Structure 1
Amino acid sequence: MPSSVPPFSELLANTRESAVHFEMRDDYGTNPRLEAWQRGERINWDDRESWWHPFHQTIADAVARGVAVRRARIVSEPVSEYIRWEHYATHANVMAGEDVRWLPRSQATGFLVPANDFWLFDGKLIRVHHFAGDGRHVSDELSTDPGDLKLCVSAFEEVWQRAIPHSEYTI
């Protein structure tokens, strides 16, 4: 069944000030880049053409327009193999212009977070991600509900303030 949720690139293209991504899972299933990393293959960061994907260009274009793109991840420690790979691959996100921070789950007590990962565009539109137990992406939905917006903005900002910048977070 086709999704009625616009593609991420369209949502970001309509964003004027900020886009934030909140991630809380320790595993998002498998993908070819993860599998290559598990086989010992490493990215040649000097060969941008080999790792630069349309997603990175979408982020870079938004940043060039003045959109602040931030990503916060809550992770369990010791980290899962997936998070170990994601930490390695985050260099590409940073090169595209994202500001990324990591918060150990042990430091995430004392405030509420939504049950799902999400993107928040200009503080006005949430793209909620739904995943299966094995990490497989199932669906997305959009929300402009004021209560949802308040919770997502509050949770993201609380995590952002506590989280460790990517360049300082070691695993």
Structure 2
Amino acid sequence: MPSSVPGFAELLGRCERSAVHLELRDSYAPTERFDAWKRGERIDWEDRASWWHPYDQLIADTVARGVVIRRARIVSEPVSEYIRWEHYVTRANVTAGEEVRWLPRRRAAATALPGNDFWLFDGAVLRVHHFSGDGVVVEDEITKDPDLVKLCSAAFEAVWERAVPHHLYDI
């Protein structure tokens, strides 16, 4: 049965001004790239063709259209192995044009947060990720509910204000 939820590329393609992404988990479902990193394999950042993915190109194309893309991650410290890997591969996100910040969870205590990771497009369309306990996305929900959009927008901005820019966040 086909999903009625628009794909990420479609939502980003409709975006005109901004896309923000808030991540709240300390781990997500393992991927081959994560497993390779755990085996000691490292990215040759000088060989862009070896690591540049369609996602990176989508972000670069969107930023080139004038859309500002910001990602904030709330993380427990000491960080999990997964977050250590995410920090390592974030170089690709930044190269593609995303602005990325990290907020230690202990500094988020006074922030009202939604219960799920989300993307917010142009401050109006919200894509909420619902995960299983082991970090697999089981459903994405699209909503324009003004109260939920307002809550998520305010949460993101509060996190962004307190968070540390990627290049300054040492793990």
**What TM-score, normalized to structure 1?**
0.99
Which letter does structure 2 place at the counterpart of 1:3?
Answer: S
How many angstroms apart in 2 are the aligned matches of 1:21 and 1:45?
A: 24
Residue 3 of structure 1 and its aligned partner are, at CA, apart by 2.0
Query: Does residue 130 of structure 1 match 2:122?
Result: no
Residue 139 of structure 1 and its aligned partner are, at CA, apart by 1.1
How many angstroms apart in 2 are the aligned matches of 1:66 and 1:76?
A: 33
Match of 1:93 in 2: 93
Q: How does 1:2-151 map to 2 (within 5 A)?
A: 2-151=2-151
CA deviation map 1:117-137 (0-9, x unaligned):
000000000000010001111
Percent of residue pairs identical: 65
CA deviation map 1:78-128 (0-9, x unaligned):
000000000000000000000000000000011211000000000000000
How many angstroms apart in 1 are the aligned matches of 2:118 and 2:11?
A: 13
Residue 154 of structure 2 aligns to a residue whose secondary structure is helix
Residue 68 of structure 1 and its aligned partner are, at CA, apart by 0.2
Which letter does structure 2 place at the counterpart of 1:46?
Answer: E
Structure 1 ranges of 4+ moved more than 4 A: none
Alpha-carbon contact 2:73-2:101 (below 8 Å) kept: yes
Alpha-carbon contact 2:25-2:74 (below 8 Å) kept: yes
CA deviation map 1:8-49 (0-9, x unaligned):
111001000000000000010200100000010000001111
Which letter does structure 1 place at the counterpart of 2:165?
Answer: P
How many angstroms apart in 1 are the aligned matches of 2:156 and 2:33?
A: 27
Q: Which runs of 5+ in 1 are unaligned?
A: none
Residue 73 of structure 2 aligns to a residue whose secondary structure is strand
Which letter does structure 2 place at the counterpart of 1:156?
Answer: F
Alpha-carbon contact 2:111-2:159 (below 8 Å) kept: no
Residue 86 of structure 1 aligns to a residue whose secondary structure is helix
How many angstroms apart in 2 are the aligned matches of 1:37 and 1:16?
A: 35
How many angstroms apart in 1 are the aligned matches of 2:162 and 2:2?
A: 38
Match of 1:165 in 2: 165
